[in-house]
């Protein structure tokens, strides 16, 4: 008896390929998320450095005011502090933008993870169907084989009975 081929084998192959592709997509999205997190960390470090610089300059300005320096120097320090404030605001915008990128990448990773789970579930359903199909085919094959053996046994019995009846008639 030739082995049976599962009628949905091509569909199973397609589902497996889709699952593999979803896993690859998830890995790519995770890599993008990691890169976005690294950019966010770098932007936060730059912002924190500028904030520390601003704090140091503010402290220097207060000390200068306490020591009684000239008005020109104080004005110059205030102008420089405005530049530092602008730079700090710019760095803060970069941090916010980097955080948006991280959030977007996280959403993409979550979506890709859901897709992987869905593809895996589809594949598992098909694998369960295949196992059930194989059991059913085995059952029907055994049943058919049993019926053939019964038929063959019945034919053999009938033939032997006729031969026996012939011998009994010829011996009488």
Q: What is the mean pLDDT of residues 41-66?
A: 91
Res 13: pLDDT = 93
Instruction: For residue 71, name the pLDDT band (cuts at 50, 70, 90).
Output: confident
Q: What is the mean pLDDT of residues 82-99?
A: 95
CA–CA distances in Å: residue 28 to residues 34, 36, 107, 108, 133: 10, 12, 13, 10, 36
What is d(CA 171, CA 162) in angstroms, rounded to the nearest whole number?
Answer: 14
Tell me the whole-structure pTM to 2 decimals.
Answer: 0.70
- Report the first-to-last Cα separation within the chain, whole angstroms: 47
Res 122: pLDDT = 93
Residue 43, pLDDT above cutoff 60:
yes
What is d(CA 120, CA 15) in angstroms, rounded to the nearest whole number?
Answer: 9
| Residue 171, SS3 per DSSP | helix
Res 2: pLDDT = 59
Q: Is residue 39 within 8 Å of residue 55, measured between CB atoms?
A: no
Instruction: For residue 172, name the pLDDT band (cuts at 50, 70, 90).
Output: low
Under 8 Å CB-to-CB from 73, ≥6 apart: which residues? 64
What is d(CA 167, CA 146) in angstroms, rounded to the nearest whole number?
Answer: 31
What is d(CA 73, CA 56) in angstroms, rounded to the nearest whole number?
Answer: 16
What is d(CA 95, CA 88) in angstroms, rounded to the nearest whole number?
Answer: 10
Question: Which of 14, 25, 16 lies closest to 112, judged by CA?
Answer: 25
């Amino acid at each position: 008896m030739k082995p049976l081929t599962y009628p949905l084998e091509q569909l199973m192959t397609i589902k497996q390929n889709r699952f593999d592709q979803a896993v690859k997509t998830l890995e790519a999205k995770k890599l993008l998320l990691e890169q976005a997190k690294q950019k966010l960390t770098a932007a936060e470090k730059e912002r924190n450095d500028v904030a520390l610089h601003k704090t140091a300059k503010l402290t220097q300005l207060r000390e200068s005011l306490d020591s009684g320096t000239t008005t020109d120097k104080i004005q110059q320090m205030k102008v420089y502090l405005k530049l530092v404030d602008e730079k700090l605001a710019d760095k803060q915008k970069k941090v916010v933008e980097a955080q948006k990128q991280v959030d977007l990448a996280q959403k993409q990773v979550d979506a890709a993870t859901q897709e992987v789970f869905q593809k895996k579930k589809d594949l598992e359903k098909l694998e369960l169907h295949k196992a059930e199909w194989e059991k059913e085919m085995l059952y029907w094959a055994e049943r058919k084989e049993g019926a053939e053996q019964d038929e063959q046994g019945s034919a053999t019995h009938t033939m032997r009975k006729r031969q026996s009846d012939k011998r009994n008639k010829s011996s009488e």
